[in-house]
A and B are shown apart, each in its own frame.
Chain A
Amino acid sequence: MKYYVTVEDRVVEIDLDETAEGWTATIGGRTYRLDLAATSGDALYSLIVDHASHEVLVEDAPAGGLDVLIGGQLFHILVQDEWERRLANIQRKTAAETGQTVVRAPMPGAVVSVRVAAGDAVRRGQGLVILSAMKMENEIRSPRDGQVAAVHVNEGDKVEQNAELVTIAAAVDPA
């Protein structure tokens, strides 16, 4: 069975097979033997990979996909089979062509400053709004490249959690 595993931004293909000796997983031509055992609780697994023993926490992430905690590091991972991936690709393409991303306030707070204006081109990771919450200032960054379609807040506004801050649309193609 082929799985497309997206670890943060990177996609790896994993062929998972059930053989007489157990499960195997092949990534980029390298094959690992897997032995997975659920332990107490819903999320804690013991995973032995070629005799290397790992304790792994795997849980459904609130926004979809899985949160995987190993060795103190947390990874957000999406596992899709062939069919799910194709479906997601179609949906994503549609979103990329017409879609808008609404950047929302991750917490209630006050708008300290607005760094962009409608029409501005923005890069992923660029600061959009400075929000003051819990007496600390937090920079709200753009989740994608694109163009600012609308700014919904002004300096000094108080906003609730999930309030719309900025709408990012696909950048106008310069070509």
Chain B
Amino acid sequence: MATSRPERLRKVLVANRGEIAVRIIRACSEIGIDTVAVYSEVDRDALHVRYADEAYPVGPGAARESYLRIDKLIDVAKKSGADAVHPGYGFLSERAEFAEACAQAGIVFIGPSPRVINALGDKMVARRTMIAHGVPVVPGSVGPVQDVAEAERVCAEVGFPVMIKAAAGGGGKGMRVVNSPDELPSALRAAASEARAAFGDGTVYIEKQLDNVRHVEVQLLADAYGNVVHLGERECSIQRRHQKLIEESPSPVVDEELRTKLGEAAITAAKAVGYESAGTVEFLVDRDRNFYFLEVNTRIQVEHPVTELVTGVDLVVEQLRIAAGRRLRYRQEDLTLNGWAIECRISAEDPYNNFMPSTGKITMLSEPSGPGVRVDSGIYEGFEVTLYYDPLLAKLIVWGETRGQAILRMRRALADYKLLGIRTTIPFHLRMMETTSFIAGRLDTRFLERTPVLETNVTGEHGVIAALAAAAVSHYRRQKAKPLAGAAANGNAAAPNPWKLAARAGLRR
């Protein structure tokens, strides 16, 4: 790359919003880097704007008119004198043209080079590269699938069910499971149109849908000098419609031997393309512990904190160091996994109603704390959750010496999480932490398809207490609303009940 690297970064523009923008700003401020936030019209009151040293508006609420506007972001970077841009995840994080635009403007893009993003962003090119380097891949089409006839040929070869995937894909968009030949034409059409809408590229390919597999991914760090280390794995099998909900590190199924093999495969993948910065290589692991390459994510991942908690490495700080041209400060033998970390994604979705997005003002918020608890959050009390962006509000991450301890700690932290005004996925996570098969670590990517729909347990202990609380609070409010009428009704028969007076004094705010 032509961009010369500054000795150290002085000012970083964070081209994102929400919890990840806050996360990046925190890392920067800890190592003495100034930060520049960008915000859309609806995000004027967002947390990242308050936490950053500088803040610039970049347009209306719709992301394509603000957070996805490369021209505006580059303009702000120049105006503010930022010497680097951190893209976070989502938005422009895996768009080679953004990395290219940064390079053109003489600004460091915190991530791999445009060439690497392109090579790995095209999932089919990535697949072919892995095949060439001996990394096992999921059976399927070698190249793009152009028409139904070709799709039928591939399916006949690998067998149903298959998964249609967008070449430019990610985040579950443009993906379709097909169970039989007659579903193939419509699924192909739907996947291609969704891919075109989401990524501007309707190219799709086919992979066999493997049964009873886990999603296991390997975290990498690579510097500009060809040094690559892996930081162990994350298990992300708890997914709903290909969106991860719960992640953990290590994986219950990965032992030291498999970890070494996965790590070596991931490092091979990174070296094959000359990778730089933090990155993640995703694999599927079957029951016999065979693994298959899925794709490489060329950005910081939502679930990166679980790796941070078990390795002690701050991945965002390392990204910043690598971007400034520093050498990796860890050798593979320096990196060991200590204890167990679990992350629950707290989203503005209603688990009682098919995970329907929930919007509105957060009227009350008290986040959990205490030993082994980390909350990466982008919200506060009074914050308005809109439909403009991803529903992820915050991530609750816990650490325990063992998986069992981490689960118990997660239960405690979830119960301590107090948020009102909108519906969130907290009740779903609590239920998962109490589900036997989850506790036993028997996970696979279709785990949630077998899990019954969440229903409010009105007859359980909490249901009864909730009913009592509602009645008591209503009663209290009624009394407060008409104290004179109450006194009149009671007449002057007796002196006021001393308990009641005491209670009222206690209730007075």
Contacts and interface: CB of A to CB of B under 8 A. Distances in A.
Interface stretch (B7-15, B101-109, B410-418): B410-418
Nearest to A107: B387
Given A59-B363, A75-B466, A136-B241, A25 B390 contact: no
B198 A23 contact: no
A70 B465 contact: yes
Nearest to A78: B470
Given A3-B471, A34-B472, A134-B357, A72 B430 contact: yes
Contact of A12 (B359, B390, B467): B467
B463 A75 contact: yes
A171 interface: no
Given A20-B499, A22-B503, A139-B354, A54 B427 contact: no
A49 B465 contact: yes
Given A49-B468, A54-B469, A43 B462 contact: no
A5 B282 CA distance: 49
Contacts of A18: 497, 500
Interface string A55-81: 111110010001111111111010100
Given A59-B363, A72-B415, A135-B173, A106 B357 contact: yes
24 contacts: A3-B471, A5-B470, A5-B471, A12-B467, A18-B497, A25-B472, A27-B464, A34-B472, A35-B503, A38-B508, A41-B364, A42-B364, A43-B363, A47-B472, A56-B465, A57-B364, A71-B430, A73-B430, A73-B466, A74-B427, A75-B462, A75-B467, A134-B391, A135-B194
Given A69-B418, A141-B354, A14 B471 contact: yes
Which of A8, A20, A74 has the most B CB atoms < 10 Å from its CB?
A74
Interface string B343-365: 00000000001101101100110
B509 A38 contact: yes
A54 B466 CA distance: 10
Contacts of A119: none
Given A25-B472, A36-B472, A7 B462 contact: no
Contacts of B421: 59
Interface stretch (B202-210, B267-275, B305-313, B473-481): B473-481
B420 A59 contact: yes
Given A27-B468, A69-B418, 17 more contacts: A14-B468, A14-B471, A18-B497, A22-B499, A23-B503, A36-B473, A38-B508, A42-B364, A43-B363, A43-B420, A44-B418, A47-B468, A66-B470, A66-B474, A70-B469, A73-B456, A135-B197
Given A18-B500, A43-B420, A135-B173, A72 B471 contact: no
Nearest to B194: A135
B499 A21 contact: yes
Interface of A: 1, 3, 5, 7-10, 12, 14, 16, 18, 20-23, 25, 27, 32, 34-38, 40-45, 47, 49, 54-59, 62, 66-75, 77, 79, 106-108, 133-136, 138-139, 141, 161
B457 A73 contact: yes
Given A7-B463, A107-B359, A75 B364 contact: no
Interface residues of B, number: 59
Interface in B389-432: 389-391, 414-421, 423, 426-427, 429-430
Nearest to B475: A16
Nearest to B387: A107
B471 A44 contact: no
B162 to A, nearest CB: 20
Interface of B: 173, 194, 197-198, 241, 243, 353-354, 356-357, 359-360, 363-364, 366, 387, 389-391, 414-421, 423, 426-427, 429-430, 456-459, 462-476, 497, 499-500, 503, 506-509
Contacts of B500: 18
Q: Does more than half of chain A's interface fall in helix, strand or loop, or is it mixed? A: strand
A25 B472 CA distance: 8
B473 A45 contact: yes
Contacts of B457: 73
A71 B471 contact: no
A82 B417 CA distance: 35
A45 B469 contact: yes
Contacts of A1: 475
Given A18-B500, A43-B363, A44-B364, A23 B426 contact: no
Nearest to A8: B456
A134 B470 CA distance: 35
A131 B57 CA distance: 31
A8 B475 contact: no
Which of A16, A41, A42, A70 has the most B CB atoms < 10 Å from its CB?
A70
A23 B479 CA distance: 13
B497 A20 contact: yes
Contacts of A69: 418-420
A36 B479 CA distance: 13
Contacts of A47: 465, 468-469, 472
Q: Which 4 A-B pairs have the closest CB atoms?
A: A79-B474, A77-B470, A75-B466, A56-B469
Contacts of B468: 14, 25, 27, 32, 34, 47, 49
B509 A138 contact: no
Contacts of A23: 472, 475, 503
A21 B500 CA distance: 9
A68 B364 CA distance: 12
